[in-house]
Chains A and B, each alone.
Chain A
Amino acid sequence: MPIITHAKSAAVVIDDAKCIAEKGCTVCVDVCPLDILAIDEGRQKAFMKYDECWYCMPCEADCPTGAVKVNIPYLLR
């Protein structure tokens, strides 16, 4: 069967203005236990890549600039 993609809302939001990934920071990506965050190669900013969040919040707590906001995923909000 061919595989199709399907759109999801990203509950974890990164404020690009605050994110300093371009300076070499990868803290949120490093700490996420589900490995769902990544740095966008082009923009050099962190983003939520997969909708597989445990809303545990190390990404937000450890981000040095307060750029991450973890929202509760819509399905359980």
Chain B
Amino acid sequence: MSEPKTEIIETDLLVIGGGTGGPMAAIKAKEANPKLRVVLMEKANVKRSGAISMGMDGLNNAVVPGYATPEQYVKEITVANDGIVNQKAVMAYATGSFPMIQYLDKLGVKFEKDGSGEYNMRKVHHMGTYVLPMPEGHNVKKVLYRQLRRLQVAVTNRYMATRLLKGADGRIAGAVGVNTRTSEFLVVKAKAVILACGAAGRLGLPASGYMFGTYENAANCGDGYAMAYHAGAELANLECYQINPLIKDYNGPSCAYVTGPFGGFTANNKGDRFIECDYWSGQMMLEFWRELQSGNGPVYLKMDHLAEETISEIETILHTNERPSRGRFHERRGNDYRKQPVEMHISEIGFCSGHSASGVAVDEFARTTVPGLYAVGDMASVPHNYMLGAFVNGGIAGADAAEYCANVDLAAHDEGHLAAEKERVLAPTRREDGLTPHEMEFKTRRLVNDYLEPPKVTAKMRIGQRRFAEIRDDLSALCARDPHELLRALEMQTILDCADMAAAASLYRTESRWGFYHLRVDHPETNDDEWFCHTALYKDENGQMAHAKRAVDPYIVPVEADEMAAYHQLRVKTPAAAE
């Protein structure tokens, strides 16, 4: 490959990731200040990128007046995350939730409404009502794209951001992008950067062995986490993995949120319900995993007791939005919701705050610990955010960044740093032969499964770390023969960074917490005396991975000890299965 060109552009705000939170950040920044120069950099194509590329089945966490209050929501999220939350950030989401629904509605996103045009909230459990279905939710991306077009946000599709740039004073100065089809560089100098790169969904390897058969959009391989880490930002609670109950092999959502209100439920091989936890959380995954271990598995999504009319309604929703290939998967296997329950399984591990509580540490304004750098959506540390959270926090970040940009000038980035990054990116293209990105990624992810999955065993995680170090040595043989292979080669390095972070974070917290997500065999108890805190992982001055404890900010919505306990007492008491 001949040496690729470099183009340098200047803007006020750079948003990286055009999935869900990113577009909303760009939109709200432009709305706050129409004169602001905003660039949206996307690895794929904004039209159809990210978790909601085909739309969404519904909101899981809508805080709608008359159905739930922000205080109630904050309390439930606090309890569901074993108390380790930044309540201010959760509250910022909760109060922004309803205005965002109205805003999306106005833009043309379709939420389920009843016969008189009011939102048709569904009750899934007795604690609060947070589910707002979107049976016609396939147009979300279209609506976002239309608004970006109206506001004339500059979009650069097919550029993968690889590293952030910083000024001498530690402020953010922009980012480096690489075109995924030409390998040309695009350096964007910016006063502020909002990271919205989604989850780290290609961390573990799906049991099928198909590397792209992940729950998350496979383009979301964790670049945001790696970029934030290398820029010196703190990452919080990464040991709180994402693990999901999914349709076996298909690895898509089993969609209890959709089928629940219609009467579907998760059952064991006797057809009995066994999950007691209302919330998609580590606790629920623990119950799920124990059932699989206990000999009562497989676990199923049971719908065969429902009426034909109900099943066809469910099918229309599940097979048109979100993951429409689900119908095709079932068809090939002869699965019919009417006749037999659908086999489910537990997913490989990943990072994602959408369903857990880890991510780049942010405050209630979505600010990270690096001045001028923001993070939103699945990669930011606001727990259980889901789609609406990505929108709300994206909007918060956009508005805050617009204001920030008005008060600062562009920082000058370090040219040596930029040159080094270009060299790092291009290194795999300078080799004629060696190891392929595909096999190096496969091996990294296979080792993640072997050594990092819960139940977490100290000795195993240490072996994992040694093996990851070997792979890191092998990077000197990584070879990319064209721009597409270079894209995968860069992603593979991100995945390796995330694997290292997952191992280090898990070893640091010497207790068990968040149910299955951080179940440590050598430290089986929850230890509030020592570990009622966030953990921060960051790159120290010497370029080493370092850790620190960060206090949980005083609650703004008090949660009584017995409320916390009451939640746990609701659980089924099953004997712990053999590890």
Seen from chain A, the residues whose Cβ lies within 8 Å of a Cβ on chain B are: 1-3, 30-35, 49-50, 52-58, 61-62, 70-73, 75-77
Residues A52 and B218 in contact in the complex (CB < 8 Å), given A33-B53, A35-B180, A75-B213: yes
* B residues in contact with A56, CB < 8 Å: 48, 53-54, 217, 323, 325
* B residues in contact with A1, CB < 8 Å: 433-435, 477
Residues A75 and B48 in contact in the complex (CB < 8 Å), given A34-B219, A50-B484, A56-B325: no
Whether B47 contacts A53 by the Cβ 8 Å rule is: no
Main secondary structure of the interface of B (DSSP, over half): loop
Q: B391 to chain A: closest CB distance in Å?
A: 19
Closest 5 interchain pairs by CB? A58-B48, A33-B44, A76-B208, A31-B48, A75-B210
Whether A30 contacts B45 by the Cβ 8 Å rule is: yes
> What are 17 A-B residue pairs whose CB atoms fall within 8 Å in the complex?
A2-B433, A3-B433, A3-B436, A32-B44, A33-B48, A33-B217, A33-B218, A34-B44, A55-B325, A58-B54, A61-B54, A71-B328, A73-B213, A75-B213, A76-B208, A77-B329, A77-B332
* B residues in contact with A57, CB < 8 Å: 54, 324-325
| Beyond A53-B212, A71-B328, A72-B329, 12 extra complex contacts between A and B, CB < 8 Å | A3-B434, A30-B45, A31-B48, A33-B45, A35-B487, A58-B53, A62-B48, A73-B212, A73-B213, A76-B249, A77-B329, A77-B332
* B residues in contact with A3, CB < 8 Å: 433-434, 436, 479, 481
A36 to B577 alpha-carbon distance, docked (Å): 43
A32 to B484 alpha-carbon distance, docked (Å): 13
Chain B residue with Cβ nearest A53: B212
Chain A residue with Cβ nearest B207: A76
B209 close to A (CB within 8 Å):
yes
A77 to B477 alpha-carbon distance, docked (Å): 34
B211 close to A (CB within 8 Å):
yes
* B residues in contact with A72, CB < 8 Å: 250, 325, 328-329, 332
Whether A35 contacts B44 by the Cβ 8 Å rule is: yes
Chain A residue with Cβ nearest B212: A52
Among A50, A53, A61, A72, find the residue whose CB has the most chain B CB atoms closer than 10 A. A72
* B residues in contact with A70, CB < 8 Å: 325, 328
- B contact residues, total (Cβ < 8 Å): 42
B129 close to A (CB within 8 Å):
no
* A residues in contact with B180, CB < 8 Å: 35
A76 to B296 alpha-carbon distance, docked (Å): 24
Whether B53 contacts A35 by the Cβ 8 Å rule is: no
A35 to B160 alpha-carbon distance, docked (Å): 12
Q: A10 to chain B: closest CB distance in Å?
A: 14
B454 close to A (CB within 8 Å):
no
* B residues in contact with A73, CB < 8 Å: 210, 212-213
B568 close to A (CB within 8 Å):
no
Whether B218 contacts A34 by the Cβ 8 Å rule is: yes
A32 to B45 alpha-carbon distance, docked (Å): 7
Among B210, B325, B329, find the residue whose CB has the most chain A CB atoms closer than 10 A. B210
* A residues in contact with B281, CB < 8 Å: none
A50 to B180 alpha-carbon distance, docked (Å): 14
Q: A71 to chain B: closest CB distance in Å?
A: 7
A66 to B103 alpha-carbon distance, docked (Å): 34
Q: A37 to chain B: closest CB distance in Å?
A: 11
Residues 157-207 of B at the A interface (beta carbon under 8 Å): 158, 180-181, 206
Chain B residue with Cβ nearest A35: B180
A64 to B415 alpha-carbon distance, docked (Å): 46
* A residues in contact with B323, CB < 8 Å: 56
Whether A76 contacts B53 by the Cβ 8 Å rule is: no
A57 to B327 alpha-carbon distance, docked (Å): 12
